[in-house]
Amino acid sequence: MNERAISFGESGALFGILGAPEIPDPQRPAVLIPNTGVTHRVGPGRMHVELARALSAAGLVSLRLDNAGLGDSETVPGRSSETAALDLCAAMDALDARNISSGYVVIGSHNGAHDAHQAARIDPRIIGAVFLDGYVHSTPRAWLNRLLGKVGDRSRSGDPPSDGLYLTPRSGDALHDASDAEIHWFETPTHARMEADLVEFMRRQLALMYVYTGDVERDYHYAAQLIDAFPLLRGYRRLTLRHIPEGDHRYSRRTTREAMIDVLVDWVLSVNGQPKG
């Protein structure tokens, strides 16, 4: 275990755990893992720790970070969930200063996926991103599935609450006693905005991985929904799409979690190349 706590960002307000192999390869990308929900940097069920240690065993550097106001990072006035991507940029600055890698991959789950997307938009150092239960855009088939599902499954009590799809719009005592459902979601970009972002990502040859679990099944209905929503992705060689209906966004079953970690490590190892601005 070769891990080190680091402070970074303006005035060292942000906090993270840097994991590194014995001999880091600067030609490999470093992996950034932002918070999932309000859980601190260890991730739900300690998934981020297990992932970081698996990455390290595979020869990869990683940084598990706490966004401003979460875990051991200070609350930074002016920062909100909508600006959390800036925390990822600060993390890249910190790792650049250590000459650790030549590019970055962000692995984000839920609001972490939102952070990964927003960071990829604004920072060309990112060469790959994984979005676990991130943005979902509907399609005619998804709409039909949803309608048929409602007709055929009246025994169930409406849509489930959006368990866990949360951000931290508030901090301190305002968060106490808030149930999951009361902590609001991130805002999904419009279809046009998302499409424009994807065009840019493809121009930059970003490696993209989208994973959808059963926790978002009320919105993500079938494996190829992402491709149907954005046909420009069809044939994009740097796209990986996975649908895990039996999974949940917290990867609370060890078998699912370990399998996903294996997939993620292999995928990151396959990502190479310098950033293309």
Partner 1 sequence: MLSEHVHARRLLLHLLRAARRLNNPIYFGPAAQPLFGMLHRPQGAVRQTGIVLCTSWGSEGLRSYRGLRQLAQTLSQSGFPVLRFDYTGTGDSGGDGRHVRLAQWLDDLRQACAVLRTETGVAGLCLTGLRFGALLAQEAVASGAVSAQAVALWDSPPSGEVFVANLQQMDQALNEKRAQQRKVRSQMAPAARDELLGHDWPDGLEADIARLPGLRRDLPGRVIFVSRDRIPPDSVESIRLPDAGHWSDVDRIHAPWLPVASFRIVAERLSDGLP
User: Contact residues for partner 1 (CB under 8 A)?
Assistant: 1, 3, 5, 7, 10-13, 15, 17, 37-42, 44-46, 49, 70-72, 74, 76-77, 149, 153, 156-157, 160, 163-164, 172-173, 175-181, 183, 214, 217, 245-248, 250-256
Nearer to partner 1, 121 or 218 (CB): 218
Give the shortest CB-235-to-partner 1 separation in angstroms.
28
Nearer to partner 1, 176 or 237 (CB): 176
Give the shortest CB-191-to-partner 1 separation in angstroms.
25
Nearer to partner 1, 102 or 168 (CB): 168
The DSSP H or E segment spanning 229 is helix 225-229
The string over 82-111, giving b where at least 16 C-beta atoms fall within 10 Å of a residue's C-beta and e elsewhere, is: eebbbbbbbbbebbeeeebbbbbbbbbbbb
Structure tokens that stand for 189 in this block: 């970009």
Structure tokens that stand for 177 in this block: 């006693």
Sign of CA dihedral 81, 256, 44, 238: negative
Distance CA 41, CA 47 (A): 9
Give the shortest CB-253-to-partner 1 separation in angstroms.
6
Nearer to partner 1, 99 or 179 (CB): 179
Give the shortest CB-218-to-partner 1 separation in angstroms.
9
Nearer to partner 1, 45 or 189 (CB): 45
User: CA separation (Å) from 52 to 2, 113, 126, 173?
Assistant: 11, 17, 18, 31
CA 222 to chain centre: 20
Nearer to partner 1, 15 or 201 (CB): 15
Adjacency order of strands within the sheet including 104-109: 3-8, 14-19, 62-66, 30-33, 104-109, 126-132, 207-213, 239-244
Give the shortest CB-76-to-partner 1 separation in angstroms.
7
| Residue 161 neighbours by CB under 8 Å, 6+ apart | 180, 181
| Contact status, residue 254 vs residue 105, Cβ threshold 8 Å | no
| Residue 272 neighbours by CB under 8 Å, 6+ apart | 27, 28, 29
Nearer to partner 1, 186 or 230 (CB): 186
Give the shortest CB-251-to-partner 1 separation in angstroms.
8
Give the shortest CB-67-to-partner 1 separation in angstroms.
12
